[in-house]
Amino acid sequence: MALYSPHASGLGNSAAYQVSGKPYAFTGAAPVNSGDPTEIVFPTVTKQITFINNGATGEDIKIGFSHAGVDGSGATANYILVQPLVDGGVPLTLDTKITKLYIISHDASDTGAYSLYAALTGVPNEDLPNSWLGSAGVGGTKP
């Protein structure tokens, strides 16, 4: 006789990523590059994120997966530069499992506005406590 054994959603559970995600929307303004990046902590592990730079002409925004990644330079720079829609930029959609995202303006004079949408899984953040921190392409801890 088989016994019922419920399994919770987990990081390696493919079913958590095959269904539609729970919607999560966020808007804000990226701090200037001379300040600390904005850290967005998602309620659960993401399935997908879409980032839109709504800023004015020339207000590029850096997004990354660690403080050091968006704040660094040279070999420690691990970020994606997103141009504003008014400059021909497009929304950036990433299928990725993360719990945190870091945002900062590319230039010390920029204060770009942005919108963020995430599709959330049922996977708790405890399953990915460091959100890939220290992994290649992500970056290390806060300097």
* Mean pLDDT over the full length of the chain: 84
Per-residue confidence band for 141, with pLDDT thresholds at 50, 70 and 90? low
pLDDT at 143: 43
Per-residue confidence band for 121, with pLDDT thresholds at 50, 70 and 90? very high
pLDDT at 6: 57
pTM assigned to the model: 0.85
In whole angstroms, what is the distance from residue 46 CA to residue 43 CA? 9
Q: How many residues does the chain have?
A: 143
In whole angstroms, what is the distance from residue 141 CA to residue 120 CA? 24
At residue 55, what are phi and psi to the nearest 5 degrees? Answer: -70, 175
pLDDT at 106: 86
At residue 85, what are phi and psi to the nearest 5 degrees? Answer: -55, -35
pLDDT at 75: 65
- Domain regions of the chain by residue span: 19-127
Fold held by 19-127: Jelly Rolls (2.60.120)
